[in-house]
Amino acid sequence: MKLNIAVLPGDGIGPEIIGQALRVTEAVCEKFGHELSYEYAIVGASAIDEVGNPYPDSTHELCMSADAVLFGAIGDPKYDNDPSAKVRPEQGLLAMRKKLGLFANIRPVTTFPSLIHKSPLRAELIEGADFMCIRELTGGMYFGRPQGRSEDGNTAYDTCVYTREEVERILHLSYKYAQLRRKKVTVVDKANVLATSRLWRQVAQEIEKQYPDVETEYMFVDNAAMQIIQWPKRFDVLVTENLFGDILTDEASVITGSLGMLPSASIGIETSVFEPIHGSYPQAAGKNIANPLATILSAALMFEYAFELKEEGALIRKAVDASMDAGVVTEDISSAGKAYSTSDVGDWIVNFVKK
């Protein structure tokens, strides 16, 4: 099979972790006889520095022509610490989502036996936790208009807007994933306060009738935030709007014991993007200490969702599990006193795949 990938390393540790994920991807393609082609493009702060645009037209054109996008991270302190900056790296991420029609971010949340002790939650709460967060990506407050500040700078405003079409699209996707899992969907909103949430609930109540084999429950976002911590094993597929999803998925990451272990897939109308959920971690950039496992697991999602190559994705997961069992991990999740570098972990997983 021919696999054509756009590679966007981005900022901070992005180039290092993407480098290891790409090496694993190459090893898997070699093992299974696939023909891999890929091309790099700039995005984020590095793109601003080079061309003044965090998501240049040339990068978008490459993404549109690819079968999938493997993406690292966006963000740079020099922009974070400058409130007056008119162009920001994160604008590149929002532009990419909008232009590629990336309407659904899928984040599987599972536990790893060797990392359970790293979670701040008690082992009996999280052992066996396995759920999927599906976050709407193209609507809500992040894209709402109008948006701005008053002339005197003392008042700021954002608007939250959703259309029926946007809500229907993400809900149908969620029910289809639930049918492949344990057949339960939790719709998270704030329908007791927000008009957009009442639209979400209305549309969900209509759509749930089309999936009689799936159990549906409705939960306010504050209650969901509490229950993710108290009873994470009660969830199967959790679907919500953009802002709520941004917060809840980061909260859910503590269940695994490390933010550096969670991959994600952003499903698009044009091209889908596969990326770790963590940020650019600029303090570690260039030090060869960043955890590449979330990015490598994102490559596994790419094989599974973009190319429907389940066996290839399963091999990557097996290799990651084996590296963790062997203690070949970076300093953020090491517990045996020895930490490996980013490239060491990549070497170990590549060798495992090639066996």
313 falls within a domain: yes
Q: Is the pLDDT of residue 260 over 80?
A: no
Clarify whether residues 80 and 153 are in a common domain: no
What is the rounded CA–CA span in Å between residue 88 and residue 206? 39
Clarify whether residues 252 and 335 are in a common domain: no
* Residue where the block lists tokens 């499903």: 267
Clarify whether residues 155 and 66 are in a common domain: no
The predicted pLDDT at position 261 comes to: 85
Domains in the chain, number: 2
Clarify whether residues 129 and 234 are in a common domain: yes
Query: pLDDT, tens digit, for every residue of 29-58?
Result: 999 999 999 999 999 999 999 999 999 999
Report which of residues 258 and 131 the model is more confident about.
131
User: Residue 73 belongs to a domain with what CATH number?
Assistant: 3.40.718.10
Query: pLDDT, tens digit, for every residue of 291-335?
Result: 999 999 999 999 998 999 999 999 999 999 999 989 999 998 887
113 falls within a domain: no
Mean pLDDT of 228-246: 96
Report which of residues 10 and 252 the model is more confident about.
10
Give one DSSP letter per residue of 104-143, joined into a string: EEEEEEE--GGGGGGSSS-HHHHTT-EEEEEEE-SSSTTT
Q: Is the pLDDT of residue 336 over 80?
A: no
- Residue 94: band (very low, low, confident or very high) from pLDDT cuts 50, 70, 90: confident
The predicted pLDDT at position 111 comes to: 86
Clarify whether residues 29 and 136 are in a common domain: no
Q: Is the pLDDT of residue 99 over 90?
A: yes
What is the DSSP code (8-state) at residue 284? G
Clarify whether residues 201 and 98 are in a common domain: no
Q: Tell how far CA 48 is from the center of its chain.
A: 23
263 falls within a domain: no
Q: Is the pLDDT of residue 64 over 90?
A: yes
Tell me what the pLDDT averaged over the chain comes to: 93
The predicted pLDDT at position 206 comes to: 98
Clarify whether residues 182 and 83 are in a common domain: no
177 falls within a domain: yes
- Cβ(277)–Cβ(253) below 8 Å: yes
- The residues with which 106 forms a beta bridge, in sequence order, are 134, 265
Clarify whether residues 78 and 12 are in a common domain: yes
Work out the percent of the chain whose per-residue pLDDT is above 70: 100
Beta strands in 141-257 (DSSP E): 148-149, 156-157, 184-189, 215-220, 237-240
Question: In what order do the strands lie in the sheet containing 130-136?
Answer: 35-40, 2-10, 68-73, 272-276, 263-268, 102-110, 130-136, 237-240, 184-189, 215-220
Q: Is the pLDDT of residue 21 over 80?
A: yes
Clarify whether residues 83 and 126 are in a common domain: no
The predicted pLDDT at position 129 comes to: 93
Clarify whether residues 124 and 252 are in a common domain: yes
Q: Which of 256, 284, 307 is the last residue of a domain?
A: 256
132 falls within a domain: yes
Q: Is the pLDDT of residue 258 over 80?
A: no
Specify the 3-state DSSP secondary structure of 34: coil
Query: pLDDT, tens digit, for every residue of 270-288?
Result: 899 999 988 899 999 999 9
Q: Which of 202, 234, 256 is the last residue of a domain?
A: 256
Q: Quote the domain boundaries for residue 76.
A: 1-102+268-355
What is the rounded CA–CA span in Å between residue 241 and residue 250? 14
Clarify whether residues 76 and 126 are in a common domain: no
Residues sharing a CB contact under 8 Å with residue 65, sequence separation 6 or more, in sequence order: 4, 6
Q: Which amino acid is at 264?
A: S
Query: pLDDT, tens digit, for every residue of 166-176?
Result: 999 999 999 99
Clarify whether residues 250 and 273 are in a common domain: no
36 falls within a domain: yes
* 258 backbone dihedrals φ, ψ, rounded to 5°: -160, 130
285 falls within a domain: yes
Q: Which amino acid is at 179?
A: Q
Maximum C-alpha span of the chain: 65
- Give the residue numbers annotated as catalytic, written as ranges: 142, 190, 222, 246, 250
The predicted pLDDT at position 198 comes to: 98
Q: Which of 229, 256, 283 is the last residue of a domain?
A: 256
82 falls within a domain: yes
What is the rounded CA–CA span in Å between residue 18 and residue 233? 31
What is the rounded CA–CA span in Å between residue 325 and residue 328? 8
pTM for the full model? 0.84
Report which of residues 147 and 260 the model is more confident about.
147
What is the rounded CA–CA span in Å between residue 269 and residue 230? 36
The predicted pLDDT at position 119 comes to: 85
Q: Is the pLDDT of residue 104 over 90?
A: yes
- Residue 133: band (very low, low, confident or very high) from pLDDT cuts 50, 70, 90: very high
What is the rounded CA–CA span in Å between residue 304 and residue 310? 5
The predicted pLDDT at position 152 comes to: 86
Please give, one letter per residue, the 3-state secondary structure of 246-266: HHHHHHHHHHHCCHHHCEEEE
